[in-house]
């Protein structure tokens, strides 16, 4: 089935979609994005994703390309045209098209917008959710504003490739003090020997994960012990359990960190219960 994309006001065939060579997303990575999961026809946590998109735009002094209501209509139309019942929607906003110059272009430049959607039955993600994944730790070489969901992802790409080369699904990024910040495309969590769930607190050091925030609400609603604090690689390797979260990988167990088996090498009981609790409010993988 041919796919459809939305690019700067037009619905076009996916294979014909394009941006200008002078778009600042192309020249500088001067753009932000969101990825929204679609489960059973429902756009999961849509308003939370749009709130984070609006925050990223404000932080980069970038104009809002459409009202929230209009953007929702565009996204749902892309979902309809691409018959996305289970899958992902991608939204990218660029600062716009202008002659190449590092400083911002004039206010007359209109921001660009791209929306795409695809159905996704990812057996690898399903298997990861069921059996768990391995992660590799690497130095965190990214810029200091990781709370902005920018398309400047080269450091993430290099870390993810290092993980893939090592036979791991994800890389956990480690700051100069030896503490885990987050994954290349996920939030990092551990479960202590006392069943306390631990994840790094919000700051400019990590992306303010939508799935992270909603899972914390689920955790607190079910009475689990939780701490928002930094943890070291060593603490993670000796934890009872570990897992990652993202829109595309909700509550995915981590069974090995570097060469160290986590717990007994299988998804732990706390992680399993959190999968059930989260699926009850957000839909299954």
- List pLDDT tens digits, range 57-70: 999 999 999 999 99
Task: Map tokens 């928002």 to a residue.
Answer: 228
Beta strands (DSSP E) in the chain are 4-7, 10-13, 31-39, 42-43, 87-94, 112-119, 133-139, 170-174, 180-183, 187-191, 197-199, 226-228, 241-245, 252-257, 260-261
CA 198 – CA 42 distance, rounded (Å) = 29
| 65 phi and psi angles, rounded to 5 deg | -75, -30
pLDDT at residue 120 above 80? no
In total, how many domains does the chain have?
2
Cα separation of the two ends of the chain: 23
52 & 140 share domain:
no
Mean pLDDT of 101-117: 94
Report DSSP state, residue 240: S
Please tell me the predicted confidence (pLDDT) of residue 2.
87
Same structural domain, 100 and 223: no
Answer yes or no: do 185 and 129 share one domain: yes
Do 66 and 196 sit in the same domain of this protein? no
In this predicted structure, the answer to whether residue 1 has a pLDDT above a threshold of 80 is no
106 pLDDT tier (thresholds 50, 70, 90): confident
Backbone angles phi, psi at 14, to 5 degrees: -55, -45
Give the chain's mean pLDDT: 96
140 pLDDT above the threshold of 60: yes
109/239 same-domain check: no
Q: Domain of 228: which CATH number? A: 3.20.10.10
Query: Cα(254)–Cα(243) distance, rounded to whole angstroms?
Result: 5
Length of the chain: 285
- Nearest CA-CA partner of 68 in 55, 84, 85: 55
Q: What is the pLDDT of residues 224-238, one digit of tens each?
A: 999 999 999 999 999
Q: Provide the residue range defining the domain that includes 48.
A: 4-121
228: nearest Cα among 256, 205, 251, 247: 205
Q: Quick one: 110 and 183 in the same domain? A: no
Task: Indicate if the pLDDT at residue 35 is higher than 60.
Answer: yes
The pair of three-digit structure tokens given for residue 196, joined into one six-digit string: 């306390």
Kindly tell me if the per-residue pLDDT of 43 is higher than 60.
yes
User: Is 149 one of the annotated active-site residues of the chain?
Assistant: yes
**Pick from 16-20, 101-105, 177-181, 281-285: least confident:** 281-285
Q: 72, 131, 134, 149: which is the annotated catalytic residue?
A: 149
pLDDT for residue 121:
65
Max Cα-Cα span within the chain: 59
Instruction: Assign residue 9 the CATH number of its domain.
Output: 3.30.470.10
114 and 152 both lie in a single domain: no
Last residue of one domain, picked from the residues 59, 92, 121 = 121
What local confidence, expressed as pLDDT, does residue 60 receive? 97
Distance CA(165)–CA(135), nearest Å, equals 11
Mean pLDDT on 49-78: 97
254 in the same domain as 162: yes
Q: Output the six-digit token pair for 163.
A: 């993980």
Token pair 């690689």 is found at 233
Instruction: Note whether 154 and 113 are within 8 A (CB).
Output: no
By CB neighbour count within 10 A (0-12 exposed, 13-18 middle, 19+ buried), where does 171 fall? Answer: buried
The residue-averaged pLDDT of 30-55 equals 97
160 in the same domain as 111: no
Taking residues 7-27, report their average pLDDT: 97
Give one word for 167, left, alpha or beta, with left for phi > 0 and alpha for psi -120 to 50.
Answer: left
Please indicate, yes or no, whether residues 107 and 133 belong to a single structural domain of this protein.
no
Q: How far is CA 71 from CA 4, 11, 167, 186, in A?
A: 16, 13, 39, 25
DSSP state, residue 16: G
Pick the range with the lowest mean pLDDT from 32-41, 230-239, 252-261, 275-284: 275-284
| Mean pLDDT confidence for 44-61 | 97
User: What is the C-alpha separation between 154 and 157, in angstroms, rounded?
Assistant: 5
| Residue 130 and residue 71 share a domain | no
């Amino acid at each position: 089935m041919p796919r459809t994309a939305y690019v700067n006001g037009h619905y076009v065939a996916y294979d014909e979609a394009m941006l200008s060579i002078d778009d600042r997303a192309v020249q500088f990575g001067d753009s932000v994005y969101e990825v929204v999961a679609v489960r059973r026809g429902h756009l999961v946590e849509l308003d939370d994703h749009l709130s984070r998109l609006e925050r990223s735009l404000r932080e980069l002094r970038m104009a809002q390309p459409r009202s929230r209501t209009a953007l929702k209509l565009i996204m749902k139309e892309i979902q309809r045209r691409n018959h996305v019942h289970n899958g992902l929607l991608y939204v990218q906003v660029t600062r716009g098209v202008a002659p190449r110059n590092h400083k911002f272009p004039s206010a007359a430049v209109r921001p660009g917008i791209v929306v795409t959607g695809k159905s996704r039955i990812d057996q690898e993600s399903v298997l990861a959710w069921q059996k768990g994944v391995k992660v590799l730790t690497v130095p965190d070489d990214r810029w200091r504003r990781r709370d902005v969901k920018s398309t400047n992802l080269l450091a993430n790409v290099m870390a993810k490739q290092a993980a893939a080369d090592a036979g791991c699904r994800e890389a956990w990024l480690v700051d100069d003090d030896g503490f885990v910040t987050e994954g290349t495309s996920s939030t990092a969590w551990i479960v202590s020997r006392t069943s306390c769930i631990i994840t790094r607190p919000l700051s400019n050091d990590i992306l303010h994960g939508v799935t992270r925030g909603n899972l914390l609400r689920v955790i607190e609603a079910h009475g689990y012990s939780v701490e928002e604090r930094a943890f070291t690689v060593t603490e993670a390797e000796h934890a009872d359990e570990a897992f990652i979260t993202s829109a595309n990988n909700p509550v995915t167990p981590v069974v090995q960190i570097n060469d160290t088996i986590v717990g007994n090498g299988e998804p732990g009981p706390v992680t399993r219960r959190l999968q059930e609790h989260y699926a009850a409010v957000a839909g299954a993988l």
